[in-house]
């Protein structure tokens, strides 16, 4: 395992009374062990099929990789259509591993890099769609429509708009070659459409839920198009999986931090801030927010008891949010745990030059921007510790396929362990499904007449309008 975990600043003997008493580990050993056993016993079963993805035979990916490299060669743009788990994993990984200004590169630079522009469209804002249409040349643009259920209104709407335009631009026979579908094989509207139209189609295992699907074809197909080494990504995830399958909580990073977060919740820290100190990891916070919120925010526990549990995830970026939110983290309510994501070595660093005419900036001389960023992270960790605030730091030696694979697997296991500890169903999302059904009803989908009546009858008092 390449990632390092420093949880000193969670502990009472380091930060004071507001921290977690080290004795809690022993007191809760039975519960921690039961959560571990629960997750481990279910690896590869039911909704825990995600845990086996890093263990597949990597040579089984060769055919898909070859096909996707053909697309890479001919595409000027590659567009992913999806939402939630069908978009946030891909967004977090491409931000981490591709040039973060890829789409701003001139065409000549993209050509020599052999890469298309990449757009991941995870919303249905019509202005955004309009903007995209003004940017892409349909004749050389390829689309990957991703929906696990095959039914999500947002993704289907995007698909209908773009497929219609593509057919008008290049004719039906050619248009179908511009679309790749990623969905559950044999189920749902997208699968049926893909079969009918003859799209190249990739499956998502039945037991791989949306927010746990980044290492399935949901992520692997677009990553392969963009030339990301998906075997290394999976190998990194496998390495972390091994570390997360160790029963000793002191050696298992996901089990330890899941337990500490649950203890923090018991102490009233109901907000979990993910704060990377690297723009490349900025969207890891989005991935984390979804997996943590949708998995742990539950009304009932597994015994049917009303618990209304969950820790609200929040995003911050170092150093940007030092000048926005850190004041609140340091002096506001004791209701947060901050997770810092640190990077030892940046792939490119920039030296800060000295200027003999500007004495006041002498202290910056001889340092790099990477050093400054890391110094500011250490300074913020210190400020929080001094104020008795809980935080822990996950360090990536550098950002690459292996370490990103490790980080993704860590988040998945941490969530699974926390859910098991809280005795909830980590892998369902009844609240999200309710909204999806109400949307179908409001748009007049057949079979949702009763739901429409229910939505309409929801009491609305006229006196509460302005």
Binding residues vs ligand PA5 (CB under 6 A): 83-86, 147-149, 152, 155, 209-211, 294, 429, 432
Q: How far is the CB of 330 from ligand PA5 (least distance, A)?
A: 33
Pairing of strands 4-6, 390-396: antiparallel
| Beta carbon of residue 52, minimum distance to ligand PA5 (angstroms, whole number) | 18
Please report how close the Cβ of residue 156 comes to ligand PA5 at its closest, in angstroms: 9
Catalytic residue among 177, 302, 315, 436: 436
Could you tell me the smallest distance in angstroms from the CB atom of residue 112 to ligand PA5?
Answer: 35
Nearer to ligand PA5, 155 or 380 (CB): 155
Residue 96 sits at the vertex; the CA angle it makes with 93 and 102, to the nearest 5 degrees, is 100
Between 121 and 402, name the residue whose CB sits nearer to ligand PA5: 121
**3-class secondary structure per residue, the chain:** CCCEEECHHHEHHHHCCCCECCHHHHHCHHHHHHHHHHHHHHCCCHHHHHHHHHHCCHHHHHHHHHHHHHHHHHCCEEEEECCHHHCHHHHHHHHHHCCCCHHHCCHHHHHHHCCCEEEEECCCCHHHHHHHHHHCCHHHEEEEEEECCCCCHHHHHHHHHHHHHHHHHHCHHHHHHHEEEEECCCCHHHHHHHHHHCCEEEECCCCCCHHHCCCCHHHHHHHHHCCCCHHHHHHHHHHHHHHCCCCCCCCCHHHHHHHHHHHHHHCCCCEEEEEECCHHHCCHHHHHHHHHHHHHCEEECCCCCEEEECCEEEECCCCHHHHCCHHHHHHCCCCEEEEEEEECCCCCCCECCCCCCCHHHHHHCCCEHHHHHHHHHHHHHHHHHHCCCEEEEEEECCCCHHHHHHHHHHHHHHHHHHHHHCCCCCCCCHHHHHHHHHHHHHCCCCCCHHHHHHHHHCCCCHHHCC
Catalytic residue (choose from 49, 294, 406, 414): 294
In angstroms, what is the minimal distance from the CB of 45 to ligand PA5? 18
CA 29 to centroid of chain Cα atoms = 30
Q: Assess whether 130 carries a catalytic annotation.
A: no
The distance of closest approach from Cβ of residue 70 to ligand PA5 in the complex, given in angstroms and rounded to an integer, is 26
The nearest distance, CB 137 to ligand PA5, in angstroms, is: 27
In the complex with ligand PA5, the residue whose CB is nearer, 9 or 184, is 184
Under a CB-based contact definition with an 8 Å cutoff, are residues 396 and 24 in contact?
no
> By C-beta, is 209 or 405 nearer to ligand PA5?
209
Q: How many CA atoms lie within 13 A of 162 on its CB side?
A: 32
Closest approach, Cβ 399 to ligand PA5, in A, equals: 25
Q: How far is the CB of 57 from ligand PA5 (least distance, A)?
A: 25
Is 197 tagged catalytic?
no
Q: Is 326 exposed, middle or buried (0-12, 13-18, 19+ CB in 10 A)?
A: buried
Active site residue 323: yes
Closer residue to ligand PA5 (CB): 86 or 92: 86
* Residue number with CB closer to ligand PA5 (85 or 370): 85
- Cα–Cα separations (whole angstroms), residue 325 to 86, 101, 316, 380, 382: 29, 26, 8, 11, 16
Question: Whose Cβ is closer to ligand PA5: residue 19's or residue 84's?
Answer: 84
Q: Which is nearer to ligand PA5, 149 or 374 (CB)?
A: 149
CA angle, 245 as apex, 267 and 249 as ends, to 5°? 35
- In the block, tokens 């100190």 appear at 277
Query: Rounded to whole angstroms, how far apart are CA atoms 204 and 206?
Result: 6
C-beta closer to ligand PA5: residue 79 or 384: 79
Comparing every residue's Cβ against ligand PA5, the nearest one is 210
Q: Which one from 323, 446, 460, 461 is the annotated catalytic residue?
A: 323
Active-site residue list: 294, 323, 436
């Amino acid at each position: 395992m390449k990632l390092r975990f420093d949880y000193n600043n969670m502990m009472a003997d380091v930060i004071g009374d507001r921290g977690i008493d080290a004795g809690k580990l022993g007191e809760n050993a039975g519960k921690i062990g039961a959560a571990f056993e629960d997750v481990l016993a279910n690896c590869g079963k039911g909704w825990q099929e995600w845990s086996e993805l890093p263990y597949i035979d990597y040579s089984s990916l060769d055919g898909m990789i070859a096909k996707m490299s053909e697309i890479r060669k001919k595409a000027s743009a590659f567009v992913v259509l999806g939402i939630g788990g069908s978009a946030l994993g891909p967004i977090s990984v491409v931000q981490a591993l591709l040039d973060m200004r890829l789409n701003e590169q001139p065409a000549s630079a993209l050509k020599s890099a052999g890469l298309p522009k990449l757009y991941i469209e995870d919303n249905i804002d019509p202005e955004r769609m309009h903007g995209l249409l003004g940017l892409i040349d349909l004749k050389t643009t390829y689309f990957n429509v991703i929906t696990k259920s095959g039914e999500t209104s947002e993704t289907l709407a995007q698909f209908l708009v773009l497929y219609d335009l593509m057919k008008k631009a290049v004719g039906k026979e050619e248009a179908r070659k511009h679309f790749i579908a990623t969905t559950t094989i044999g189920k749902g509207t997208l699968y049926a459409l893909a079969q009918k139209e003859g799209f190249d189609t990739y499956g998502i295992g039945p037991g791989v839920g949306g927010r746990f699907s980044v290492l399935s074809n949901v992520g692997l197909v677009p990553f392969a198009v963009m030339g990301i080494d998906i075997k290394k990504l999976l190998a990194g995830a496998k390495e972390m999986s091994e570390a997360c399958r160790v029963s000793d909580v002191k050696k298992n990073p996901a089990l330890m931090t899941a337990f500490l977060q649950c203890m923090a919740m018991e102490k009233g820290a109901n907000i979990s801030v993910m704060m990377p100190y690297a723009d490349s990891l900025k969207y890891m916070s989005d991935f984390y927010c979804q997996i943590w919120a949708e998995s742990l925010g539950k009304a009932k526990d597994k015994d049917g008891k009303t618990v209304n549990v969950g820790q609200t995830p929040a995003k911050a970026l170092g150093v940007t949010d030092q000048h926005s939110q850190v004041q609140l983290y340091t002096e506001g309510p004791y209701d947060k745990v901050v997770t810092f994501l640190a990077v030892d070595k940046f792939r490119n660093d920039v030296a800060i030059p000295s200027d003999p005419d500007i004495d006041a900036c002498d202290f910056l001389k001889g340092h790099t921007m990477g050093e400054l960023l890391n110094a500011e992270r250490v300074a913020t960790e210190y400020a929080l510790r001094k104020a008795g605030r809980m935080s822990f730091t996950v360090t990536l030696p550098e950002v690459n396929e292996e370490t990103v694979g490790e980080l993704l697997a860590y988040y998945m296991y941490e969530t699974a362990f926390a859910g098991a500890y809280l005795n909830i169903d980590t892998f369902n999302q009844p609240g999200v499904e309710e909204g999806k059904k109400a949307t179908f009803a409001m748009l007049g989908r057949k079979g949702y007449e009763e739901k429409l009546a229910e939505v309409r009858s929801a009491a609305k008092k006229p006196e509460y309008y302005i």
